[in-house]
């Protein structure tokens, strides 16, 4: 067991009955290292993007059924809201961060 894991175990044992456990950031970073950029890229490319595209497809499918259901009481603003929210989410995913 590494020193960081030992420190983490000690902090958890010391505050076992408490609702909050205070652990130094350096201890957490040593015990749980950040993923590499290639791992982050693969998660983004193979999990996040396809999941959001499926969600967008379901939203578009739902909007299609709302328009062809033959109900005159279907509000057009509902369709506009769903479409705008879906497209904004997808475009925001691919936009560059303002801080970078």
pLDDT digits (tens, 9 = 90+) for 52-83: 888 888 888 887 887 787 777 877 787 788 77
Per the structure, the complete domain to which residue 28 belongs is given by 1-33
Q: Own/partner pairs for 59-63, CB < 8 Å, 24+ apart?
A: 59/83, 59/86, 60/86
Claim to verify: residue 51 and residue 4 sit in the same structural domain: no
Note the pTM of the prediction, 2 decimals.
Answer: 0.52
Claim to verify: residue 46 and residue 81 sit in the same structural domain: yes
- Domain total of the chain: 2
Q: How many other C-beta atoms are found inside a 10 Å radius of the C-beta of residue 86?
A: 19
């Amino acid at each position: 067991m590494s020193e960081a894991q030992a420190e983490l175990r000690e902090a958890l044992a010391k505050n076992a009955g408490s609702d909050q456990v205070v652990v130094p950031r350096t201890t957490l970073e040593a015990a749980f290292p950040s993923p590499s950029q290639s791992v982050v890229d693969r998660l983004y490319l193979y999990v996040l993007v396809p999941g959001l595209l499926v969600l967008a497809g379901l939203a578009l499918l739902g909007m299609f059924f709302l328009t062809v259901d033959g109900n005159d009481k279907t509000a057009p603003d509902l369709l506009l809201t769903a479409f705008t929210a879906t497209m904004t989410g997808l475009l925001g995913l691919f936009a560059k961060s303002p801080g970078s």
